[in-house]
Chains A and B, each alone.
Chain A
Amino acid sequence: MKKVFLMAISLILVVAVLVGCGQSATNKPSESTAPSTSSEPAKSEEPKPSEKPLANSYWGDAPASEADSAPVPIDNLPTEGIGIQISTNVKANEKYKIAIIVKNTTNPFLLKSIAGTEKAAKDMGFECISLAPARQDSLEDQVKIIEDAIQQGVDGIILHPIDSNGIMPAIRKAEEANIPVACIGTPAAKQTFLRTGVDYKATGLLITHHVAEQIGKKGKIIILEGPPAAQNAQERLAGIKEALQSYPEIEVVASQTTNFKRTEGMQVTENLLQKYKDIDAIIACNDESALGAIQALKAAGLAGKVVIGSFDGNEDGSSAIKNGDMHVTYNTDPFGSTYLAAAYIVQYLNEGTMPPKYFVPFPSELQNPLITGANIDQYMSDIAWWR
């Protein structure tokens, strides 16, 4: 009996302490229940049952794929700078509760998304709640988390959707509760309050053009693709292929998947190098696979002879640029992206100001997202999102 009793007591303590921790970390003044409904221009929309289930009051009923992805001029952004330098003049009128919901807690990219929101919360004065599925990358769990966040009475949601279509019912529930949802990276199927983060296709275009210039617009290249089913990988690949159409003298000798993994990047490159010895460039769909390719090139004694372009600008990728192993990568800046999303949500909650349009790519091309040997030192010391 004693044993059971002791176990029970310790169980109570554990739960209470942990819940208490979570509570104190996210404590909020009691007056901030919900944004006053009068300040909500978008609230006029009613939940419309079956005849129009995919209701979206913000940008009409348009699918996300039809969004205009032209960059917004820097001056029009509510924020200044990129990476960890990002700042804003926007201040929250009330202590809003904004949730950042990611896909998992192992990907450094997603962790920095959370960090960006946390900095935004500090700068703008709102309360940030970070949530992720207990089962990694589980759509069903992510849906439950959104439902719970709605129950909790959050004022806004910044979301990395696990699946464009599957997340829609949850987003609809949020919008029915007048909670704006900003998507980062993979968008939800229909246009929500805001989409920001990188335009994957544009990143593909930009990097490919850069690499093409480097090799004199002609030669043989290899493409290392991402996971075939991943939406962001598909869009990025589409950008790469589109850009290559303007270079008739560049020949793609191979295009294979490496699943965004370093080991696979190495294996695939090793195998391809057996067949193709005179490669001019490799375009890898993320830094990790590019780093694998560099390993393979080094082993084959080809290091430095092949131009390598990639995406992310993560820590190891930046070092590779600094060492001269890699030539160009793209700063995908999860930190700044969520910060920007938070700024738009706060503006909306304050005065009902909508973003200039549904898709605001970030960092915009005007902020020079390419990282090369020329700006690597500045990037690493001042901007890098992973720092």
Chain B
Amino acid sequence: MQANTRAKSFITDFVRKIPPVLWITLLLITIFSMASDQYLKFSNFTNILVQSVPLMLVAFAQTLIVLTQGTDLSLGAQVSFVTVLWIYLTKAGLPIYIAAIISVVASMFVGSINGLIVSKGKIPPFIATLGMQNILNSISMLLTAGASIYIYHPLFYDVTKAKIIGIPLVVWITAFMFMVTWVVLYKTKLGAQIFGLGGNQEALTLAGINLVKPSIKIYAFAGLLTSVSGLITTCRLESGQPVVGAGWEFEAVAATLLGGTSLREGKGGIGGTIFGVLLITILKNGLNISGVPSLYQNAIIGLIILMSIVIDALARRMKSYEEGAKL
């Protein structure tokens, strides 16, 4: 009998559950548009979307991993690795599309190795992926001798310039990858297993599920997402950059947390992550456009991310307090 009223409150809860990140983002937009007359323009809107794309894809990947109670520290290195490998293979004479496919497969392979080490080797994801990060960084460096590598190809330009109904192609690609991730997370067995790994591993074992297979699949899928991010980054920079993704994994964790995904219990989803990434991108873009000196920018970004997460945590605690009182 209480379940029904609780179901109702669950719906109102859902409305209230819109992560604070959303209204913090709206708040920032308001402030920035007051600060600069250049801000609220359609061109800046697409600019922000395009800028958020590479981190967005990495953050989707990170969200999946965080939902399984892991953290993948190799994601940024995977992006760098893909940019380098794509250019390297193309330079070596492979057709550019084949090189792209190989790079994607390589990234998924790297992911599956992560999954294997984490599940079969029972190594904490943090450590396993840290090792992978170093290995990948060093491979990228070896392939490029430390500097960036470059090749001319019109494809890069075409990808970044192409628009469909006024929205850049890369944004459509990201939207498509979001759909795919969403389907995986909510419409397939693997998705249920992701929540299971994060929420109650014992349950999976008792259901007779071998944890190795889903782990490999999840990390490989994360590798797929990062490789798309890597390909788009390559197009944006028209070069293979051995260090371009350094630190993205942490920004992706920040975006994931901002989006309401919890580091515990397998709680959350990828919807919120979109807003987490947008918050970070909008913040950087707005600070640049309103001409805040870069010396202050890092401090502001750190402060706002921190405060957003604290506000989020407080709001959540308050909510569970109310829930506790109701029961």
Contact = CB atoms under 8 A, between A and B. Distances in A.
A4 B311 contact: yes
Contacts of A229: 145-147
A7 B310 contact: yes
A138 B146 CA distance: 14
Contacts of A67: none
Interface string A1-13: 1011001101110
A138 B244 contact: yes
A181 B300 CA distance: 28
Given A7-B310, A166-B148, A169-B237, A153 B38 contact: yes
Contact of A147 (B32, B51, B300, B304): B51
B289 to A, nearest CB: 5
A149 B318 contact: no
B260 to A, nearest CB: 15
B31 A25 contact: no
A152 B289 contact: yes
A301 interface: no
Contact of B304 (A15, A132, A151, A230): A15
A75 interface: no
B145 A132 contact: no
A11 B233 CA distance: 32
Contacts of A149: 288
Interface stretch (A50-58, A76-84, A306-314, A332-340): A50-58
A283 interface: no
A206 B146 CA distance: 28
Interface in B287-316: 287-298, 300-301, 303-304, 307-308, 310-311, 314-315
Given A1-B318, A4-B314, A165-B238, A22 B298 contact: no
B43 A140 contact: no
A15 B288 CA distance: 13
B170 to A, nearest CB: 12
Interface residues of B, number: 63
Contacts of A228: 145-146
A23 B157 contact: no
B36 interface: yes
Contacts of B13: none
A130 interface: yes
Interface string B145-168: 111101010101110110000000
Contacts of A356: none
24 contacts: A1-B318, A8-B311, A11-B311, A18-B300, A19-B35, A21-B296, A22-B35, A22-B290, A22-B296, A25-B291, A26-B291, A50-B161, A105-B295, A131-B288, A132-B295, A134-B284, A134-B301, A141-B284, A148-B47, A148-B284, A152-B288, A169-B237, A228-B145, A230-B147
Interface of B: 24, 27-28, 31-32, 35-38, 41, 43-44, 47, 50-51, 54, 145-148, 150, 152, 154, 156-158, 160-161, 233, 236-239, 241, 244, 246-247, 284-298, 300-301, 303-304, 307-308, 310-311, 314-315, 318
Given A19-B35, A140-B237, A166-B244, 16 more contacts: A4-B315, A15-B27, A18-B292, A25-B293, A26-B291, A105-B295, A132-B295, A134-B284, A138-B247, A147-B51, A149-B288, A166-B148, A169-B157, A169-B238, A189-B150, A229-B147
Closest 7 CB pairs of A and B: A22-B292, A229-B146, A165-B150, A148-B288, A132-B294, A53-B157, A26-B291
